[in-house]
Every structure is written in C-alpha cells, then in structure tokens.
Amino acid sequence: MNHTYVIIMAGGVGTRFWPFSRTSYPKQFHDVLGTGRTLLQQTADRFDGICPSENIFIVTSSLYKNLCQQQLPQLSDDQVLCEPIARNTAPCIAYACYKIAQRDPEANIVVAPADHIILKQDDFQRTIRTALAATQDQDILVTLGIQPSRPDTGYGYIQYIPAANTEQAPLRVKTFTEKPHLELARQFLESGEFVWNAGIFVWNVQAIIRAFEAYLPEVAEIFEEGRSAYYTDHEAAFVDKAYSLTKSVSIDNGVMEKADNVYVVLSDFGWSDLGTWKSLYEVSDKNDDLNVIDGHIMLYDTKNCIIKTPKDRLVVVNGLDGFIVAEYDNVLMICRKEEEQKVKAFVADAKERGAEFV
C-alpha cells in the first residue's frame, strides 16, 4: 500500500487577484499562466509519481465542489472535502488529516496550497521526496523554506540552525515568525539565517495529530469525534457541526510557532505564492519592452506592464509604464503596479456597488 497522501488547500478567494479572482470563481480555478491547465490542475499534476491519484484530497469551500470535480474528474466524492464556512488553515488541515488517519494510520502527508507556482518540477519532487523520507518514521513537522529575495511582510519567516551537511536534509527550526512588520523582516534578511515559509508542509499523520492534541486541543477534540462519520453518509452533517464549533486559526499560529519538533528543508524550485498581480508579472515571460501580455492586445510606447484581457476584445494601450491592466467578466481594472496593495480596497468598494462585481 502506498502510504503517501497529498492534501491540496483550495478554499481561498484570492482577493488580491481581482477582477480575475471572484468569490464565485477564485484564482486557483483559472489558467493564470496561459498553460492550458488551471493552478489547481497544475498543483495536482505536480504530485504525479509522488502518490496515486486516489490519495489526493482537496479541501475547499462547498461553493467550489463542482469546480473541483470538473477540473479534477479523477477524484471521487470522498476526495473533495467541503468546508461549510472558512476557518483558516488549521481546521482545514485537521479535517483532512483526521479523515486520512481513519483510513490509513501510517499515512505520510504533504499539504500544499492550490494557487502556488513551481517552475522547477523535478527539483520540487526531489525536495518533497527528501521531506517524506524524513517524516516517514519520525515525530517531526517539516516545512519547506525558500531563500528570501526581499523583506516581504506577507510571508512567514523561519530561522533555522545550520548544519555541516545541508544536502537537503531537514534542519532544525529555531524560530517561526508569521508575517513580521517591515523593520523585522529587514533584520531577518540581513542576518542570513532566515528563509520564507513556502506554506508547504510534510508530516506523518500521527505526528500532526499529536501536535493538534498538544497545541490546539479543542480542534483535535472536535475532529477526533468525526472518526465514525468519515467516509459515511453522516460526514457532511458532522462537518457542518464541527465547523460551527471551531475557531478561525492558521496552522502557522496554532501549531508551527509553538511546536518544538519543527524542521525545514531548504528549497530552490522556482516558487511563487502568486499572491498578487506583481508576483504574476515577476514569474511570467516578458517581451522586449518588459511587458507581460495575455489577450488580443496592441501596444504603443508601453513598458513594464502586465495586461490580461479577454481574447475576444481588441485592446489598444498607448503610453503606459508600470501598470496592471486587467479585465474579466465586466470589470476592468487599471492600476499602477507599485500600488497593487490598493486592490483589496477596490474590492471592498466594488462590493458596495453590487455582488456581481466581486
């Protein structure tokens, strides 16, 4: 029996990617890179050869069950776990891990978000295999760490204890800091002892259950009670009740920052969390004028822009430098790339104008 499992977290809305990412159709279900595969499909594809498709579980909002099944038709109903309400990553991971434990107490699990980009597939699989080999028989929680390129306040930071031989062996984590303020992020970068938390986790199911029992006992108690309901007709009713009882907490704050058995595998596989338009610009192919274009577009005296518009509309752009131009489903957004943090405010204002815009 193959004891390797993958949990893909696919419930987020991705507000910063508006107007493409909407409540009804979030970014993980879009072909953001123009490859012919959506971000969710690319994430599932990434684990070909790591585990059989019947060992892949998607955790998503009940709103997106049909989208998940359309895009990943190889998955059974039991493999698409539907959350009735958003409760952040700890309950999401607990639900999936307790359900997997019911079937396979020896499960060795990878947890990955559905909306990240990995440019070096072979390096990624090699890193995952290294982590899985370490977690198979050890009571450790492993995360993947990315060398930081800037003092970004949107990521968690991991301080690790260097070792003589770092040939991708997991290194002990000293501190785990979720989304520091800018000055602290600068200090982390300058020290050279910190990596970004990629939000990809590896552990065996017994290790993570012990961690929930130790650090989030109320979450552990709630999902432990579901053992008799998983894989039965009672599961949906149990999950509705469970989510009404659990609080919203991230796995980072709830477990990883508190646990003393956290390790990191230093990683280099072309990672981006694709959280914003600017991050999409950075990982996309650019023309001679450093523009990223996707659509039926004519450009004049325009550079350093990302322009993504419907293929059935001719778009003419003249004289822009450093802008986002994005159109989708009756919303057109034009915004300076450097001011992309305003997108969340745009979404909030658009919500007041009517649900069809968000």
Domain count, the chain: 2
Pick from 272, 290, 315: which residue ends a domain?
A: 272
At residue 165 the predicted structure's pLDDT band, cuts being 50, 70 and 90, is low
Q: The pTM is what?
A: 0.93
Tell me what the mean pLDDT of segment 259-282 comes to: 90
Residues 202 and 131 sit within 8 Å (Cβ to Cβ): yes
Instruction: For residues 102 and 186, state if they share a domain.
Output: yes
Instruction: For residues 205 and 325, state if they share a domain.
Output: no
Residue 99's SS3 state is: helix
Radius of gyration of the chain (CA): 21
- What is the share, in percent, of the chain residues with pLDDT greater than 70? 98
Per-residue pLDDT at 333: 97
Instruction: For residues 238 and 331, state if they share a domain.
Output: no
Q: Which of the two residues, 43 and 193, has the higher pLDDT score?
A: 43
Non-local (6+) Cβ contacts of 298 within 8 A are 314, 315, 316, 317
Q: Which of the two residues, 192 and 159, has the higher pLDDT score?
A: 159
Per-residue pLDDT at 1: 63
Instruction: For residues 288 and 255, state if they share a domain.
Output: no
Instruction: For residues 195 and 233, state if they share a domain.
Output: yes
Overall residue count recorded for the chain in this entry:
358
Tell me what the mean pLDDT of segment 205-221 comes to: 97
Vertex 252, ends 251 and 257: CA angle to 5°? 125
Tell me what the mean pLDDT of segment 310-321 comes to: 96
Domain of residue 290, residue span: 277-357
Neighbours of 352 (CB within 10 A): 8
Contacts for 221-229: CB closer than 8 Å, 24+ residues apart: 222/94, 222/246, 223/91, 223/94, 223/95, 223/97, 223/98, 224/98, 226/95, 226/98, 226/99, 227/98, 227/102
Tell me what the mean pLDDT of segment 280-284 comes to: 91
Q: Tokens 């577009």: give the residue.
A: 297
Closest to 180 measured CA to CA, from 158, 147, 149? 158
